[in-house]
Amino acid sequence: MKTEIYVVSHKNVKMPNESIYVPVQVGTNKENFKGFERDNTGFNISKKNPNYCELTVQYWAWKNRAADAKGIVHYRRYFSNGGMFFFKTPDEKFNEILKSDKVASLLEKNEAILPRKRNYYIETSWSHYEHAHHIEGLEIAKEVISERYPDYIDAFEEVVNRKAVHMFNMLIAKSEVFDSYTEWLFNILPEVEKRVDISEYSTYEKRIFGFISEILLDVWFEKNQIKYTELPVLFMGKQNWFRKIGLFFLRKMGLSKKAV
DSSP for 163-191, please give it. Answer: SEE--TT-EEEEHHHHHHHHHHHTTTHHH
Say what the pLDDT of residue 106 is. 98
Provide the phi-psi class of 197: left if phi over 0, else alpha when psi is between -120 and 50, else beta.
beta
Q: For 171, phi and psi rounded to 5 degrees? A: -165, 155
Burial class (CB in 10 A: 0-12, 13-18, 19+), 25: buried
End-to-end CA distance of the chain: 36
Q: What angle do CA 170, 240, 14 make, to 5 degrees?
A: 50
Say what the pLDDT of residue 91 is. 84
Among 201, 217, 121, residue whose Cα is nearest residue 167: 217
Say what the pLDDT of residue 112 is. 99
Among 260, 258, 253, residue whose Cα is nearest residue 123: 253
CB atoms within 10 A of CB 197: 7
pTM of the model: 0.91
**What is d(CA 210, CA 190) in angstroms, rounded to the nearest whole number?**
12
- Could you say which DSSP state residue 97 is in? B
Say what the pLDDT of residue 253 is. 56
Say what the pLDDT of residue 242 is. 46
**What is d(CA 172, CA 179) in angstroms, rounded to the nearest whole number?**
11
**Which 3 state secondary structure label does DSSP give 34?**
coil
Rg (CA), the chain: 18
Alpha-carbon distances of 8 from 13, 53, 143, 145, rounded to whole Å: 11, 9, 30, 28
Mean pLDDT (10-residue bins), the chain, 260 residues:
98 96 97 98 98 98 98 97 81 93 98 97 96 97 98 98 97 98 98 98 98 98 98 81 48 56
- Could you say which DSSP state residue 152 is in? G
Handedness of CA 26, 81, 229, 132 (dihedral sign): negative
